[in-house]
Amino acid sequence: MAEFLLSAFADEAGGGLLDQIRALKENGFTHIEPRGLDRGNISEYTAEQCREVRKILDDNGIGISAIGSPFGKINIKDDFAPHFDLFKRNVENACILGAERIRMFSFYFDAGDDYAAYRDEVMERLDRFATESLKSGVWCCHENEKGIYGDVDDRCLDILTTFEGKIKGVFDPANFIQCGVEILPAYAKLEKYIDYMHVKDCIFATGKVVPAGKGEGHLPELLKLFAQKDGKRFLTLEPHLKVFDGLANLEQEGGTAEQIKEDYTYPTNREAFDAAASALKSLL
């Protein structure tokens, strides 16, 4: 049986690193997937800045589950060279931070593009990511995401079987729902390759993100299935219940309240984060 470790994208709680640590500790979380920090996205940090982050986290007893990077969140037609150069620097930073994983993606496409026509280019780029990171003992973990090659379960399976033993999977139920994918069949298809799970729920008909267990992501069933894996397994909370600093840089179409489509209204980012954390702990 799995031993669940609770992590989160704590930038959704609002504030800088110390505020995020406070939100984690007050909700009983032991790890963070760093993304938006005091000086911007973690991918933009220098080695020295990462050493500062590592010291603060160590002093507060907070571990890192993965680097919440944006790598692979460029268009497949964009120049890959500068993106890959930044990735290489971030592999070094992952080692400084003590992170064994980098969350990544499989490139955006324009509307009407033939995904199959670009498959070889996607795989070549992913191979370069994975080969580079594994030199340092850091795993690339692919997340399903709207608008990328690996947005639906079949193409995620294509990636994870092609790179079996080289790239691991992140299962995000809300992102699958927003792509029209049925959750439990997708989990069964990908289970072998899933390293960790994002806790984020959603409604099929509207695309609304809701607290865990309030949507159609089958979170209670997913957690039971995921618990059957052996060893330590991360559950990374990604609430998306309120617009937060940095969202516009994470979503291809930008971040607005209309896109979040809140059914659950919270006065502050911190209260939204606390509500999402409470929903997850209730399910557990």
> Count H helices, E strands: the chain?
11, 12
pLDDT attached to residue 132: 98
pLDDT attached to residue 242: 75
17 burial type by CB count under 10 A (0-12 exposed, 13-18 middle, 19+ buried): buried
Q: How many C-beta neighbours within 10 Å does residue 32 have?
A: 27
pLDDT attached to residue 173: 98
pLDDT attached to residue 253: 46
**In terms of CATH architecture, what is 2-283?**
Alpha-Beta Barrel (3.20)
> Is the Cβ–Cβ distance between 260 and 49 less than 8 Å?
no
Q: Look at residues 243, 173, 170, 235 and name the one whose alpha carbon lies nearest to residue 203.
A: 173
Nearest-10 crossing angle of helices 119-134, 153-162: 50
Task: Give the whole-angstrom CA distance, residue 29 versus residue 98.
Answer: 18
Task: Give the whole-angstrom CA distance, residue 50 versus residue 72.
Answer: 21
Task: Give the whole-angstrom CA distance, residue 110 versus residue 165.
Answer: 30
Task: Give the whole-angstrom CA distance, residue 88 versus residue 140.
Answer: 12
List all residues 6 or more positions away from 81 whose beta carbon is below 8 Å from its beta carbon. none
pLDDT attached to residue 260: 43
Q: In tens digits, what is the pLDDT along the chain, a chain of 284 residues?
A: 999 999 999 999 999 999 999 999 999 999 999 999 999 999 999 999 999 999 999 999 999 999 999 999 999 999 999 999 999 999 999 999 999 999 999 999 999 999 999 999 999 999 999 999 999 999 999 999 999 999 999 999 999 999 999 999 999 999 999 999 999 999 999 999 999 999 999 999 999 999 999 999 999 999 999 999 999 999 999 999 975 555 445 555 444 444 444 457 789 999 999 999 999 999 99
CA dihedral for 58, 65, 109, 210, sign (positive or negative): negative
Q: Do β-strands 40-41 and 36-37 pair in parallel, antiparallel, or remain unpaired?
A: antiparallel
pTM over 0.85: yes
